[in-house]
Amino acid sequence: MRHSSQNVEEQPYKIIAVDDEGGIIDSLSVFLKRSGYQLTGITNPLEAIERVKNEHFDLMLLDFIMTPIHGDKVVEEIRKFNKDLYILLLTGHKDLAPPLETIRKLSIQGYCEKSDKFDQLLLLIESAIKSIEQMRIINQINSELTKSQEELEKAYLETIQTLRYTVEAKDTYTRGHSDRVSAYSVLIGKHMGLSEKTLKTLEIGGLFHDIGKIGVPDHILLKEGKLTDDEYSEIKNHPSIGKHILSNASTFQEIIPIVYHHHEKYDGKGYPGKLAGEDIPLLARIATVADTFDAMTSSRSYREPLSLSYVRDEIVKVSGTQFDPKIAEVFLDILDNHYEEIKAIQEKYKG
């Protein structure tokens, strides 16, 4: 990662001065040019607001008493869309400066009295430029760190996808299952009126809900007959394994509750946490319905898919024990009145 004050200093600092007296602007321009700075001078404060809105400036020198609006109102408008601009307020007399509370509220970094000599102002400008330079370096470092983090998480996501495909490759039942659970979960979420952000979490959580099965021995995962108690205990470890796999990347934090709790039951008799009712995360409660529906309507080594009427009766039967009754009601409505949406998912993700 390369960042240096030399890189930052290569970029010129843009200063804008706002004063309704043209003579002040002219004097500032001459003085600052002599000191090595380039200045954009504006006499209309309303025009200055628009200029800052459409062009980048690092520092603003702003007169306080102006027409048609005073400097504090200029800052108030600018802070609505720009929190970073460094502002030095100029006053004709210290008694005319706005209250300290106003200066703090508007994030005005400093002020000084106007004078025929600009020595004090120059010191404040030099101090401001140093602060701006430091912020540039910090922002550059943060940008590089963010980029590195995004690249790391992208690589991690690709690794998890590979693990998911590995699970699906060795278990014919799982193939397509995660895609359908993801799609059913999103469908339920849409009918519940959940936000786009939440639907995205449901989508990703559904895709990876069974990722922990990568840690289940093949002879158990692929067994066609009934599992022994010990084998079933091994299977029940997959939510914890999945949570462990995903816990090292911040990008997966929001889906971990789905992965870890999708086998909880509304009556508290599920696993791994034996959570009950609304103590079970909402998205996990949704995924539970989607997961169970797909299990019942998919082909297994020991049976054909169950009939829709049987599946519907089962959902009614376990509403309030295995399923959150409100979510079960939403899914029953989808089955009864929007079944074409279910069929579209099944057609898209055939096993």
β-partners of residue 59 are: 15, 86
Domain positions in the chain are: 5-143, 171-348
Q: What is the pLDDT along the chain (351 residues), one digit of tens a residue?
A: 444 444 444 457 899 999 999 998 998 898 888 888 889 999 999 999 999 999 999 999 988 888 999 888 999 999 999 988 999 888 876 666 666 777 777 778 877 777 767 778 888 888 888 888 888 887 888 788 778 878 877 877 787 778 777 777 766 666 789 999 999 999 999 999 999 999 999 999 999 999 888 888 877 877 777 888 888 888 899 999 989 888 877 778 899 999 999 999 999 999 999 999 999 999 999 999 999 999 999 877 667 889 999 999 999 999 999 999 999 999 999 999 999 999 999 999 886
Our CA angle for 33, 34, 40, nearest 5°, is 15
Angle at 214 between CA 210 and CA 220, to 5 degrees: 95
Architecture of domain 5-143: 3-Layer(aba) Sandwich (3.40)
Q: Side chain identity at 340, as an amino acid letter? A: E
| CA torsion angle 162 165 171 172 (round to 10) | -170
Which CATH code is given to the segment(s) 171-348? 1.10.3210.10
Spatial distance between the Cα atoms of 211 and 163, rounded to a whole number of angstroms: 7
Which residues are catalytic, by number?
Answer: 213
Q: pTM of the entire structure?
A: 0.60
Phi, psi at residue 86, to the nearest 5°? -80, 125
How far, in Å, are 90, 213, 239, 290 from residue 253 at the CA level?
49, 19, 14, 21
Residues 339, 327: Cα–Cα separation, whole Å: 16
pLDDT of residue 220: 81
- Could you tell me how many residues make up the chain? 351
pLDDT in the model for residue 351: 62
Tokens of 245: 């796999």
* Cβ-contact 35, 25 below 8 angstroms: no
Can you tell me the distance from the alpha carbon of 91 to that of 24, in angstroms, rounded to the nearest whole number? Answer: 12
pLDDT of residue 97: 63
